[in-house]
Amino acid sequence: MRYKAFLACLTILFIADICVLTRFINTEQNERQDPVEVNAAVQSVQNDWDSLNSHKNITALDYSVLNNSGNVLLKTRADVSESINEAVIHRDTIFDIEKNGETVGKIIIYNDSAKLLADSKKRAASVIAFAAFFQCILCAAYLIYLNYAVIRPFRKLEDFAERVAGGNLDIPLKMDRQNIFGAFTESFDIMRSELKNARIAEAKANASKKELIAKLSHDIRTPVASIKAASEVGAAIAENEKSRQNYYNIIHKADQINALVTNLFSATLEELQQLTVEPADMNSSEIFHMLESADYFHYADIPDVPEYMIYADKLRLQQVFDNIFANSYKYANTKIEVEIFCENDRLAIKIEDTGGGVPEKEIPLLKEKFKRGSNAENIDGAGLGLYISDCFMKEMGGELMLANGEKGLAVTVFVALSGTI
């Protein structure tokens, strides 16, 4: 797993930090002058004692040379100690200079342990700073990975749940099986598929109910019409007012039965009123993201959206675009052309496939409930998408218009501009 590699890198860097800090703590004890260098400095001064004016420092050490009287004969740098007292205070190294077995002077080797310690501290600080920087890079990279592997999938799930709650079950949930939430998101999409199947079954049941009601209404109206016609004839030839009034009562009851059958037939259309639409002012730039979200197969090139304030319900408008693209995928499965423009105080979004369109006589029927085109044979669907989308657009003060374009069926969504409703 990737998080294990991340933890391993952080552990290695942490151990490196501990090692550097440990060495830094012990630096003061370990940083000492090189005895070989010290011995070389003493030997070179002894060899050049008689010609110190031409003496050359062959070591990396700095030192001063004094005679037995305490006079300074040589200094390799300006701030080295010039007396034994200064050397003792500065903790410099003092050696006798001997010539022919006699002590002829002193060499005071400058104590540069402070400089060595400072250099060591700089090196340690550099290593720690580099390790900290690399740790920051690792953490930033892991945050990006978490955003890609955790946060973005959950945001997709949030949008997906919002769509399912809005009744849109056609758009699948994209998933990455390599992702740690791959199986989790797959379960959600299985749920969507099962809900869609249940919804299709329910729509078929509703369609069957509608057909049954239509058949019963026809079957009931036929004998009722016969009864009404016979009663009208009876009323016309009735010999007295009482008989005529009885025939009129039969005619009145026949009319009541016709009215009840008509009401029963239209009652199946009332459930759509339960879907609430709550439009509000919003920026037209939201439409670009809605179209991108609806075009999950990426069949369309989404153009820039002109800047306007529009009046719409974001959830319902997204559902309208989802239905249009889903229909295009389902029935045409071709490239989709999108055009956005302003017309008559409305923002128009024209979505056209290249599937050749539908017969002209079928276009007015496509927005009716349970109506589908002749190209819908053997394709799953309930014939509700455009019907519901048309109702939503009317509730938002807009319009849904269908027409055959140059290449295929063109669906134009007219969204009202703010302040025009």
Same domain, 412 and 284: yes
| Residue 170 located in a structural domain | no
Same domain, 267 and 289: no
| Residue 209 located in a structural domain | yes
pLDDT of residue 30: 44
Residue 23 vs residues 17, 405, 419: alpha-carbon distances, Å: 10, 79, 73
pLDDT of residue 222: 58
| Residue 10 located in a structural domain | no
Domain limit, last residue, from 274, 304, 324: 274
| Residue 19 located in a structural domain | no
Residues 383-415 pLDDT 10s: 777 888 898 999 999 999 999 999 999 999 999
| Residue 88 located in a structural domain | yes
Closest-CA residue to 396 (of 370, 366, 420, 368): 420
pLDDT of residue 29: 45
Closest-CA residue to 285 (of 308, 269, 302, 253): 308
Q: Give the number of domains in the chain.
A: 3
27 pLDDT more than 60: no
Domain that holds residue 213: 203-274
User: In terms of residues, how long is the chain?
Assistant: 421
Same domain, 298 and 397: yes
Domain limit, last residue, from 46, 77, 111: 111
Same domain, 266 and 298: no
CATH code, domain carrying 349 = 3.30.565.10
Average pLDDT, stretch 268-279? 64
Same domain, 212 and 299: no
281 pLDDT more than 90: yes
34 touches 109 (CB < 8 A): no
Among the listed ranges 219-233, 298-312, 347-361, which one has the minimum average pLDDT value?
219-233
Domain limit, last residue, from 223, 258, 274: 274
Sign of the CA dihedral with 202 first, then 396, 320, and 213 last: positive
3-state secondary structure of 420: coil
Same domain, 252 and 310: no
Task: Tell me the average pLDDT of the chain.
Answer: 80
Residues 98-120 pLDDT 10s: 888 888 899 888 887 777 777 77
User: What pTM value is reported for the model?
Assistant: 0.44
Among the listed ranges 115-129, 311-325, 395-409, which one has the minimum average pLDDT value?
115-129
Q: What are phi and psi of 295, to 5 degrees?
A: -90, 70
pLDDT of residue 260: 66
Same domain, 400 and 336: yes
Q: Which residue has 């290593």 as its token pair?
A: 127
Instruction: Give the per-residue SS3 of 194-260.
Output: HHHHHHHHHHHHHHHHHHHHHHHHHHHHHHHHHHHHHHHHHHHHCCCHHHHHHHHHHHHHHHHHHHH
| Residue 172 located in a structural domain | no
Contacts of 373 (CB under 8 A, 6+ apart): 331, 358, 359, 362, 365, 366
Same domain, 40 and 74: yes
Same domain, 305 and 268: no
| Residue 153 located in a structural domain | no
- Averaging pLDDT over each range in 30-44, 92-106, 252-266, which range is the top one? 92-106
